[in-house]
A and B are shown apart, each in its own frame.
Chain A
Amino acid sequence: MAKVEQKGTLSKSDLREFFREMLLIRRFEEKVEERFRAGELPGFLHVAIGQEAVAVGVCRALEESDIIASTHRAHGHTLAKGTTPNELMAELYGKLEGCSHGYGGSMHLYDIERGNMGANAVVGGGLPAITGAALAFKLRAEPRVAVAFFGDGATNIGTFHESLNMAQLWKVPAVFVCENNHWAESTPAWQHMPIEDVSQRAVAFGMKAVKVDGQDVEAVYKATRRALEHARSGKGPVFLAVNTYRLVGHYIGDPQVYRSKEELEETRKTQDPIEHLRTKLELSGDDVEEIDREVQEIVDASVEFAKNGTDPKPEDALKNVYA
């Protein structure tokens, strides 16, 4: 994946690159849904359809040595941070060639070399470690930033409050990216938060908070750049309240009985970040088709790669418990 050349301003070709990446994530997630329904993928799967702009916008703004930690809805972040579709698909199939070598699965995707400290199945579980990683960067005087992804639901859990409080107290170089898709599983935001504006949560800790339109990848990128700058310069952590939309259920197969059909349809029509970018770039139908064909091939190839991958031996389960 070509890196964005000039960090700070985005050229049209950068944005085209973003489009391609977002579409790749979209097609990947759709393929995951398809393979799950065909009975090939064990476990829990949560796809990020609708939230591609957040993943791409944030991850493309990072420096090489910055790190991320993600949540149960991690495929988009993982791909955007540089893990190849082959490695990711192989992990979902439980193969040794997977990024976690078959030990983790969809909710425990790690790619340490590429700065991905892991997806976490416990809501808010990875937040303290991001505060800790940022602390380590500060103690060692390294110009690196630790970035956490989490959802609006996570802003209710203890680790969220403790981690942000501590991060701000110690002014560690961290960025907390809240993907507010307005749903915590099946519970709508108004039913789990007593406040409407999730950025208020950060204000409680005295932390700088920025509101971002999560369906506009350019806006996400720019906001992230500014936040990273703030954190990296020692001014302290930043809370990005990113407004986004989940265009599918919480998990694959979720019939979303708790969500009104009209709302879902309306959201799908008006809030698709890929559509937004396509319009902004004025891409023609042919342009899109060409990119689509390309990414579809990559996605199809990743399934082949995964299916032909190596199954772990049963006894491999006994390895890697201790260093």
Chain B
Amino acid sequence: MPELSYREAVRDALSRAMRDDEDVFIMGEDIAEMGGSMGVTQGLVDEFGPERVRNTPISEMALAGAAIGAAMQGMRPVAEIMYEDFLTLATEQIVNQAAKHRYMSGGQLKVPVTFRTQGGAGWSPGAQHAQQLESWFVHIPGLKVVFPSTPTDVRGLLWSSIYDDNPVVFFEHRTLYGIKEDVPDELEPIPIGQARTHRQGEDVTVIATGRLVHEALAAADEAEKEGVSVEVVDPRTLLPLDEDALISSVKKTNRCVVAHEAVVRGGFGAEVAAVIQYGAFDWLDAPIERVGAKFTPLPFAPVMEEFVVPHASDVLEAIRRTVGRNDGN
């Protein structure tokens, strides 16, 4: 089994799709010779040429919209939005156009486009290059939203997103690009809408996404030492959400912590908490905890950035609260 980094896993999925299928092409800012701002598309232009690995001007609306237009003609473009924060510029096309063409036409067409982007804090990127906006898109009927946290997951899910006939907003996390994992020799597509349990446990379920999956696993190890058995589940796809898996897990443990790097208020955790509350009401022995960033734009100075953003310690504290223990008590 080869070892791939998260970054290499993305590249692998793109390359395989483009090799197999003339209709797949990628476009974005600086993705050709430079290989993308995060180095994800390194080397692809050499193999596939500049027509299929297409640099665009700084025009998020046209970039997203052209991808939509090509998808409406039957191609499977993958548009890269360099930073998640710039999704805001492309949002009109993603939300008003891609998400709605099929519906407004009464089912006459499909829009099989994938929008790839990356975000997250770490190394002081500043407030406009660090956001986690996945919850916005979960709110839009017609879109799918995917947010993988490991190399195996990102490879299998990117493939599935490219071949899904619906517009998919695909989130990567910048601090995960370097993590490595053994992956299967052959790319195994992972179904969209399927959660993954990273760790089995008895006392509390931590539902985590993106970087916080890894923080949650670290917190779980610590909690183990305190005699608390933690189950960690990554939904992987945020829309459609694998509600059954999440609810069954909480029914087993009776306690739930939701953790994401995005700001807590109005974050994806709120949706999960509502789903759990409704589906596992009689199984809950503690209020559902939410872990996320504090309600501020991301500050620049490292000491402040670390304060705002959630860590394993925050997850651990939330775990302790659910089992009725407080730090220091």
Residues of A within 8 A of B (CB): 98-104, 108, 110-113, 117-118, 120, 122, 125-137, 139-140, 146, 158-159, 162-163, 165-166, 169, 319-323
Contact = CB atoms under 8 A, between A and B. Distances in A.
A166 B97 CA distance: 19
Contact of A321 (B71, B92, B103): B103
| Residue with the greatest number of chain B CB neighbours at <10 A, chosen from A110, A112, A128, A158 | A128
Given A128-B69, A323-B110, 13 more contacts: A98-B106, A100-B106, A104-B105, A112-B105, A112-B109, A122-B92, A128-B62, A128-B63, A128-B66, A131-B62, A139-B75, A166-B66, A321-B102
Contact of A136 (B69, B96, B142): B69
Interface of B: 22, 25, 51-52, 56-57, 59-75, 77, 92-93, 96-97, 101-110, 112, 141-142, 144, 165-166
Contact of B61 (A117, A128, A169, A321): A128
A55 to B, nearest CB: 20
A322 B142 contact: yes
Contact of B65 (A98, A117, A128, A146): A128
Contacts of B66: 128-129, 131-132, 135, 163, 166
| Residue with the greatest number of chain A CB neighbours at <10 A, chosen from B63, B74, B104, B144 | B104
The 8 closest A-B pairs by CB, nearest first: A128-B65, A132-B69, A101-B106, A129-B69, A132-B66, A162-B62, A110-B105, A162-B59
Given A103-B106, A118-B105, A125-B97, A166 B70 contact: no
B141 A166 contact: no
Contacts of A133: 69-70, 72-73
B104 A131 contact: no
A139 B62 contact: no
B103 A122 contact: no
Contacts of B109: 110, 112, 117
Contact of B62 (A108, A120, A165, A320): A165
Contact of A110 (B56, B64, B70, B104): B104
Nearest to A127: B65
B57 to A, nearest CB: 6
A132 B92 CA distance: 16
Given A128-B62, A321-B141, A100 B75 contact: no
Contact of A132 (B51, B70, B96): B70
B70 A135 contact: yes
A267 to B, nearest CB: 33
Contact of A100 (B59, B64, B104, B142): B104
B65 A132 contact: yes
Contacts of B72: 117, 129, 132-133
Contacts of B22: 140
Nearest to A157: B61
A145 B315 CA distance: 55
A139 B25 contact: yes
Contacts of A137: 73
A120 B102 CA distance: 13
A322 B112 CA distance: 11
20 contacts: A100-B108, A110-B106, A113-B108, A117-B69, A122-B97, A125-B97, A128-B69, A128-B97, A129-B66, A132-B67, A132-B77, A136-B69, A140-B75, A159-B93, A162-B60, A162-B63, A166-B59, A320-B102, A321-B102, A322-B102
| Residue with the greatest number of chain B CB neighbours at <10 A, chosen from A117, A129, A136 | A129
A113 B106 CA distance: 13
Given A100-B105, A104-B104, A108-B105, A129 B59 contact: no
A208 B46 CA distance: 33
A323 B106 contact: no
B104 A103 contact: yes
Contacts of B166: 322-323
Contacts of B103: 103, 320-321
